[in-house]
């Protein structure tokens, strides 16, 4: 299902694509540095709004990342047929490569935000990393699904449709980041895992059907 040549190609294309790594990530970093000074005139954000702002940055960054390079359905079909590549292989390899690109960036971004605002989340590092991993997986699969199986491949429509879904995923993260006790956090993580499995099954059903 996951082909290393597709991952290699996706990573190569990402490093040569100026609009993602070289534009979105630095822009987000600058926003993170500037935000606390603009909002509170100091490198600190009140605990009450920290969580909401961090989630907001997570959603903005994920949205920018998702719409950075929309797939063209016609070009994609030509590419897959030209190389006799199965859609299912492409989908999972692309999901994996997007995760390799996106996950470390989002973790670094969250650490930077926490550092520049001198505020931290009350949750354990493991819970934060796992919740972000599930969030990344879900957003990547939903985004690819929209681009491959629907004709909503223009940035505006993509933006309008996926942002409410991302907000839903972010709401699931909020209780985990609020610092619940371990048992309840585990329940929330299991719930997130279940949602990831449902999305995986849903996309898998469509991939096999197509």
Phi-psi region of 11 (alpha: psi -120 to 50; beta: other; left: phi over 0): alpha
Stretch of 4-12, 114-122, 164-172, 201-209 lying at the interface with another protein (CB under 8 A): 4-12
Residue 73 in the binding site for another protein (CB under 8 A): yes
Min dist CB 4 to another protein, Å, is 8
Residue 41 or 84 with smaller CB distance to another protein:
84
Q: Which stretch binds another protein (CB under 8 A): 3-11, 37-45, 98-106, 200-208?
A: 3-11
Scanning 9-17, 23-31, 58-66, 125-133 for contacts with another protein by CB under 8 A, the matching segment is 9-17
Least separation, in Å, of the C-beta of 84 and another protein? 6
| Residue number, 14 or 175, with CB nearest to another protein | 14
User: Which one of 2, 12, 125, 126 is in contact with another protein (CB under 8 A)?
Assistant: 12
Which of 17, 47, 154, 210 lies at the binding interface for another protein (CB under 8 A)?
A: 17
Question: Which position among 38, 41, 84, 183 is part of the footprint of another protein (CB under 8 A)?
Answer: 84
Q: Which residues contact 97 (CB under 8 A, 6 or more apart)?
A: 6, 7, 10, 11, 14
Residue 59 tokens, joined = 């959603």
By CB under 8 A, residue 3 contacts another protein = yes
What is the distance between the alpha carbons of residues 138 and 210, in angstroms, rounded to a whole number? 21
What the block records as the tokens of 148 is 């491959």
Binder among 1, 2, 5, 47 for another protein (CB under 8 A) = 5
Instruction: Select from 41, 74, 181, 208 the one that contacts another protein (CB under 8 A).
Output: 74
CA 169 to chain CA mean position, Å? 10
Q: By CB under 8 A, name the one of 23, 77, 111, 171 that touches another protein.
A: 77
H/E stretch holding 85: none
From 66, 57, 24, 77, select the one nearest 156 (Cα to Cα).
66
DSSP 112-164: HHHHHTT---SS-HHHHHHHHHHHHHHHHHHHHHHHHHSS--SHHHHHHHHHH
Distance of CA 158 to the CA centre of its chain: 14
**Residue that the structure tokens 């926490």 belong to:** 114
Footprint of another protein (CB under 8 A): 3, 5-6, 8-9, 12-13, 16-17, 73-75, 77-79, 81-85
């Amino acid at each position: 299902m996951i082909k290393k040549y597709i991952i290699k190609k996706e990573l190569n294309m990402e490093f040569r694509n100026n609009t993602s790594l070289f534009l979105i990530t630095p822009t987000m970093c600058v926003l993170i540095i500037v935000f606390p000074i603009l909002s509170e005139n100091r490198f600190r954000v009140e605990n009450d709004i920290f969580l909401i702002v961090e989630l907001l940055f997570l959603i903005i960054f994920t949205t920018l990342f998702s719409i950075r390079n929309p797939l063209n359905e016609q070009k994609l079909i030509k590419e897959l047929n030209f190389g006799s590549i199965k859609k299912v292989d492409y989908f999972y390899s692309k999901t994996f490569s997007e995760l390799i690109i996106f996950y470390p960036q989002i973790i670094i971004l969250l650490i930077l935000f926490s550092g520049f605002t001198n505020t931290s989340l009350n949750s354990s590092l493991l819970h934060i990393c796992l919740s972000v991993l599930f969030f990344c997986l879900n957003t990547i699969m939903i985004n690819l699904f929209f681009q491959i199986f629907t004709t909503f491949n223009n940035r505006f429509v993509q933006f309008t449709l996926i942002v409410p879904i991302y907000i839903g995923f972010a709401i699931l993260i909020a209780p985990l980041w609020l610092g619940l006790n371990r048992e309840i956090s585990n329940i929330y993580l299991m719930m997130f895992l279940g949602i990831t499995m449902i999305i995986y099954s849903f996309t898998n059903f469509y991939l096999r059907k197509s």
